[in-house]
Structure 1
Amino acid sequence: MSLLSVRDLTVKFAMRDNTVTALDNISFDLAKGERLGIVGESGAGKSITGFALMNLLNRPGFIDNGKILFEGEDIANMSDAQMRGIRGNRMAMIFQDPMVTLNPVLTIGQQMVETLMAHRKLSKAEAEQIAVVKLREVYIPSPEERLAQYPHELSGGMRQRIIIAMALLLDPELIIADEPTTALDVTIQADIMELLLELCQSNKVGLILITHDLGVVSQMTERTLVMYAGKIIEAGRTREIINDPQHPYTQGLINALPQQTKPGMRLKQIPGNMPSLTAIPAGCPFSPRCEYVRDHCRTTRPEPVQYAHVEVACHEVNRLHRDNSEEQSA
């Protein structure tokens, strides 16, 4: 049985005049201990997916359809009281900005101890001991002293390490990390990602990594979902997607990486922008930006098909693959 099984998940937002679809019928599985990447530009639906999986959507957002099976339990329609036994305990989430996650008026120790005592029958002394162990696991120096400090007294990298320690406090089976290094300096980002990978591997914790950075995904994950306008448009083993992308959008994301451009040359970019939720095209949502577009792309939504070791939602994948093969052989 999968650790997590998402089936036909649809998330909508109730607007003043109509309802818009933020996630459109997405499905995927996550095995125990597996690391999955979810990538795409801003507005693709990545973070909404994470919030939906944690059942943290607030009005006007709501789950309109589908199932989220966590170890066989459908958590999509659970009450807040039911979710308290799962959220933080068996599933944890790391958010983009640690200063938003941490309470500025409570010490690190107070926040960690309260979390432990809310879910476990522990004394304060026992909870503090566990907190120190977790801080030591994320390589925080002098962890006993950190318990008495407030978030503003720590550096950005230190705060993010504490967030990771808090996510691991209750030994969850799944961590959802939403752009966990966005607020950090570039020099610290690699250290944090390496730490997160090490902890997930050593504790056999499942990981869903939400990011716009395919370079990070290639180093961190085993499988990848590429999202566009609320749809999964390519899915498969990360190595297959990075080395041989099938969807034009995925190809565009990879071509836009700095290492794909020669020094001194302009970075490549995908023309146009992600469509807004109120103006998603009728056919393939990527059709206005796609150089391979045909008339039927503008009118008919492509369904995912198995192609070259991945699932891809593209009408022109056969022609695209043939054209690329001819270019390489020329």
Structure 2
Amino acid sequence: MPLLEVRNLEVSFGLRSGDVKALRNVNFTLDRGERLGLVGESGAGKSVLGFSILNLISKPGRISDGQILFEGKDLADMSPEELRNIRGNRISMIFQDPMMTLNPVLTIGQQMVECLQAHRNISNENARTIAVQKLQQVQIPSPETRIDQYPHELSGGMRQRVVIAIGLLMDPDIIIADEPTTALDVTIQAEIMELMVELCERNNVALILITHDLGVVSQVTQKAIVMYAGRIIEQGPTREIINDAQHPYTQGLMNALPQMAIPGQRLNQIRGSMPSLQKIPTGCAFNPRCDYLRDACTKQLPGYTVSGNCKVACHMVAELKQAEQAPHEA
């Protein structure tokens, strides 16, 4: 049994004009110690999926269909008390901006001790000892001193390390990291991602990494999910997706990487932009931006086609598969 299994998940937001679906028919599994990347442009539904796993969708949003099974138990049906035992304890979340995550009027130590005592019956002294150990794990120098400092006294990289340490406090089974290196410079980004992989491997913690950067996903994760307009359009082993992207959108993301451009020329880009959830095109949502447009793309939502070890939602891939099989059948 997988550690986490998401089945037919739908998330809707109730507006005056009616319900708008932010996630549609999302399915995937995550095993213990496995690292999964969620990729896509802003508005693809990555963060909504991360929040929905912990049932943190704020009104007027709600999980309108499907299941989120953690060790076989549906998180979507749990009471607030049951969820409190899961959040921060069994499943932790690391948010984009550490200055928004950390309380500016409490010291690092006060925040870490408070987190520990919310889930465990533990003394201040023991909680502080565990907090110092976790700060050491994330390679913060002089943790005995840093623990009594306020967030504004630390650099951006240090604050992000503190947030990771807080995420590891309860020895969780899963960490959901929502663009954890967005506010950092490139060299610090690489250090933080290397640290997260090392900690996950050492503690056998599963990781869901939410990002728009396929380059980071290729270095950190074992499986990848590419999302577009609230739907999974390609998923499979990361290496297979990076080396042989099947969906035109995934190919566009790959071609948009700086290293894919010819030196001295403009960077490649996908024309157009992500559609509004209130105006998702009929058929394949990517069809207005696609270079391989077919009649079926504007009329019919593509089902999933198995290509190698990947699942792809694209009429073009299905046609190519049929064309490959036709000569053999004949």
State the TM-score, normalizing by the size of structure 1: 0.96
Q: Which residue of 1 aligns with 2:95?
A: 95
Residue equivalent to 1:6: 6
Matched residue, 1:47: 47
Which residue of structure 2 lines up, in the alignment, with residue 291 of structure 1?
A: 291
SS at match of 2:177: strand
> Which residue in 2 is equivalent to 1:128?
128
| Aligned residue in 1 for 2:328 | none
Give the deviation of 1:265 after TM superposition. Answer: 1.1
1:307 match: 307
Q: For 1:161-200, what aligned pairs fall within 5 Å after superposition?
A: 161-200=161-200
SS of 1:99 mapped into structure 2: helix
**Number of positions where the alignment pairs a residue of Structure 1 with one of Structure 2:** 323
After TM superposition, give the deviation of residue 319 of structure 1 in Å.
5.3
Corresponding position of 1:327: none
What is the CA–CA distance in structure 2 between the aligned matches of 1:308 and 1:2, rounded to whole Å? 22
SS at match of 1:130: helix
Q: Partner amino acid for 2:252? A: G
Deviation for aligned residue 1:77: 2.2
Alpha-carbon deviations, 1:20-55, whole Å to 9, x = none?
Answer: 000001010001110000000000000000000011
From the superposition, tell whether residues 318 and 65 of structure 1 become closer, same or farther in structure 2 (CA, over 3 Å): closer
Deviations 1:230-249, CA, capped at 9 Å, x for gaps: 00000000000000000000
The RMSD of aligned alpha carbons is 1.3
Deviation at 1:298, TM superposition (A): 0.2
User: Matches of 2:261 and 2:9 in 1, distance apart?
Assistant: 37
The 5 Å alignment of 1:1-330 reads 1-318=1-318
Shift of 1:320: 6.2
Q: What SS is found at the alignment partner of 1:26?
A: strand
Between the aligned partners of 1:220 and 1:322, the Cα distance in structure 2 is: 34
Q: Deviations over 1:212-235 (max 9, x none)?
A: 000000000000000000000000
Q: What is the identity, as a one-letter code, of the residue corresponding to 1:76? A: A
2:32 aligns to what SS in structure 1? coil
- Please give the secondary structure, in 2, of the residue aligned with 1:32: coil
**Conserved 8 A contact 2:305-2:317:** no
Specify the SS of the correspondent of 2:110.
Answer: helix
After superposition, the C-alpha distances for 1:78-113 in whole angstroms (9 at most, x for unaligned) are 222111100000000000000111011110000000
Distance (whole Å) between structure 2 residues aligned to residue 237 and residue 266 of structure 1: 30
**SS at 2:315's partner residue?**
coil
Structure 2 SS opposite 1:262 = coil
- Equivalents in 2 of 1:136, 1:194: separation in Å? 16
Distance 2:48 2:185 in 1: 25
Deviation at 1:305, TM superposition (A): 1.4
- How many Å separate the matches in 2 of 1:34 and 1:210? 14
Aligned residue identity for 1:308: G
Amino acid at match of 1:160: Q
Note the alpha carbon deviations across 1:145-172, whole angstroms, 9 max, x for none. Answer: 1111110111000000000000000000
Amino acid at match of 1:2: P
State whether residues 235 and 312 of structure 2, in contact with CA within 8 Å, keep that contact through their aligned partners in structure 1.
Answer: yes
Q: Would the aligned equivalents of 2:305 and 2:318 in 1 still touch at CA under 8 Å? A: no
- Ranges in structure 2 where 5+ consecutive residues have no aligned partner: 324-330
Kindly tell me: are residues 90 and 302 of structure 1, through their superposed partners in 2, closer, same or farther at Cα, counting changes over 3 Å? same
- Change beyond 3 A, Cα 1:318–1:301: closer
Q: In 2, are the aligned partners of 1:292 and 1:320 still within 8 Å (CA)?
A: no
Counterpart of 2:23, as a letter, is L
Greater shift, 165-174 or 313-322, is seen at 313-322
Moved more, 82-91 or 314-323: 314-323
Instruction: Choose 266-275 or 304-313, whichever is displaced more.
Output: 304-313
Superposed displacement of residue 125, structure 1: 0.3
SS in 1 for 2:88: coil
Alpha-carbon distance between aligned partners in 1 of 2:63 and 2:187, rounded to the nearest angstrom? 38
Query: Which whole-Å CA distance do the structure 2 matches of 1:221 and 1:321 have between them?
Result: 28
Q: CA deviation digits over 1:280-306, x for unaligned, max 9? A: 011000001001011111010001111
Query: What are the superposed Cα offsets for residues 63-84 of structure 1, whole Å, 9 maximum, x if unpaired?
Result: 0000000011100122221111
8 Å contact 1:246–1:321 — kept in the other structure? no
CA shift in 2, pair 1:285/1:32, >3 Å: same
Query: What SS class does the counterpart of residue 306 from structure 2 fall into?
Result: strand
